[in-house]
């Protein structure tokens, strides 16, 4: 049995509220990204344990975790980050690219409506929530190329009133922006350059004062699919090199094992929707 990861002492720089979905129905029964292989079975008991450990890490760090009830027939609903984007209490819903996940969009919107959110917008364009819409405090970075329509940037800008930076993903292994870019602060991020086209690499270099370049090995471990509260960075334990780089930049790394979810192309961030 994998031990629960040790959590460093100290309050987070910013206490956050997260929405998570228990993996009661998690499995890999179709393939919509290069990570997914229905012939490679998920150990549901291990997945439930790993998810529970991630939730415990968040609460131990001083964050609040809310949950949405999983729905039968939606094995990827556990990846809450894809369910919506929430900034300043305003919710932009998701509209999924693949029919296998289409029903997740309404399920998440119904949760927000039932939980008192007054501004809940159904999108006109395809987008997969925080998978491709990344809040970077001074701006919002929107990824496109595989799952999200480039035109969603106009809806994002209109709803949130922040500058929107559009970047293009070119490696199908990194099908969502949150698999290739981890924002650590308003001026600092970690990323895997080869996941982006040349102009997008230049755009990110122009926006962030400090960019930590993840190796291909660490990127392939989904090491960039992490969360940061301004002090602590939660990321996959397998991305040891990236962890050292982030520590050198002054952050406290909290490693977690979500290896069962990697079978579907997911990691800590995929399982976590921030309620701002």
Tell me, yes or no, if 270 is annotated catalytic. yes
Q: Does 236 reside within a domain?
A: yes
Residue 172 has pLDDT above 60, yes or no: yes
Please identify which residue in the block is written with the tokens 């701002």: 276
Token readout for 208 is: 């962030």
Q: Does 3 reside within a domain?
A: no
Name the region of 73 (left: φ>0; alpha: ψ -120 to 50; beta: rest): left
Mean pLDDT of the 148-169 span: 98
- Are the C-beta atoms of residues 71 and 77 closer than 8 Å to each other? yes
pLDDT for 180-196, tens place per residue?
A: 999 999 999 999 999 99
Annotated catalytic residue, options 21, 228, 270, 271: 270
CA–CA separation, 21 and 111 (whole Å)? 11
Q: Does 10 reside within a domain?
A: no
Q: Does 142 reside within a domain?
A: yes
Q: What is the pLDDT of residue 12?
A: 74
CA–CA separation, 205 and 162 (whole Å)? 19
Q: For the chain, give the mean pLDDT.
A: 96
Annotated catalytic residue, options 21, 63, 144, 176: 176
Reported in sequence order, the residue ranges of the chain that DSSP labels E, i.e. its strands, are 17-20, 64-67, 84-87, 90-93, 119-121, 133-135, 140-144, 164-168, 181-185, 188-191, 210-213, 227-228, 232-236, 252-256, 273-274
Apex CA 253: angle with CA 250 and CA 259, to 5°? 150
Q: Does 1 reside within a domain?
A: no
pLDDT for 197-207, tens place per residue?
A: 999 999 999 99
- Are the C-beta atoms of residues 176 and 143 closer than 8 Å to each other? yes
Token readout for 74 is: 């939606």
pLDDT category at 213 given cuts 50, 70, 90 is very high
User: Residue 174 maps to which CATH number?
Assistant: 3.75.10.10
Q: Does 184 reside within a domain?
A: yes
CA–CA separation, 68 and 81 (whole Å)? 12
- Are the C-beta atoms of residues 55 and 20 closer than 8 Å to each other? yes
Percent of the chain at pLDDT > 90 equals 95
pLDDT category at 23 given cuts 50, 70, 90 is very high
CA–CA separation, 93 and 72 (whole Å)? 20
Q: What is the pLDDT of residue 147?
A: 98
pLDDT for 226-254, tens place per residue?
A: 999 999 999 999 999 999 999 999 999 99
CA–CA separation, 49 and 39 (whole Å)? 22
Q: Does 182 reside within a domain?
A: yes
pLDDT category at 9 given cuts 50, 70, 90 is low
Please tell me the total count of domains within the chain. 1
HSE value, Cβ hemisphere, 13 Å, CA-based, for 157: 10
HSE value, Cβ hemisphere, 13 Å, CA-based, for 21: 29
Q: Does 4 reside within a domain?
A: no
Residue 98's domain spans which residues?
Answer: 17-274
Tell me, yes or no, if 228 is annotated catalytic. no
């Amino acid at each position: 049995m994998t031990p629960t990861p040790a959590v460093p002492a100290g309050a987070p720089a910013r206490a956050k509220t997260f929405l998570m979905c228990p993996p009661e129905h998690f499995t890999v029964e179709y393939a919509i990204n290069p990570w997914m292989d229905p012939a490679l079975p998920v150990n549901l008991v291990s997945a439930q344990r790993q998810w529970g450990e991630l939730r415990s890490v968040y609460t131990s760090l001083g964050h609040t975790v809310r949950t949405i009830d999983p729905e039968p027939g939606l094995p990827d609903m556990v990846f809450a980050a894809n369910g919506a984007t929430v900034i300043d209490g305003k919710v932009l819903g998701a509209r999924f690219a693949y029919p296998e996940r289409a029903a997740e969009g309404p399920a998440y919107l119904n949760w927000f409506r039932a939980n008192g959110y007054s501004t809940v917008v159904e999108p006109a364009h395809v987008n997969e929530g925080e998978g491709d819409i990344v809040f970077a405090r001074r701006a919002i970075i929107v990824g496109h190329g595989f799952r999200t329509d480039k035109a969603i940037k106009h809806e994002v800008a209109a709803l949130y009133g922040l500058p929107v930076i559009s970047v293009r993903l070119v490696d199908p292994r990194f099908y969502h922006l949150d698999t290739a870019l981890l924002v650590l602060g308003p001026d600092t991020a970690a990323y895997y350059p080869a996941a982006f086209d040349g102009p997008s690499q230049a755009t990110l270099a122009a926006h962030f004062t400090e960019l930590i370049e993840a190796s291909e090995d660490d990127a392939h471990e989904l090491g960039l699919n992490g969360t940061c509260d301004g002090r602590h960075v939660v990321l996959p334990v397998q991305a040891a090199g990236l962890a050292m780089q982030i520590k050198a930049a002054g952050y406290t790394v909290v490693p977690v094992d979500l290896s069962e979810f990697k079978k579907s192309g997911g990691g800590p961030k995929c399982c976590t929707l921030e309620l701002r």
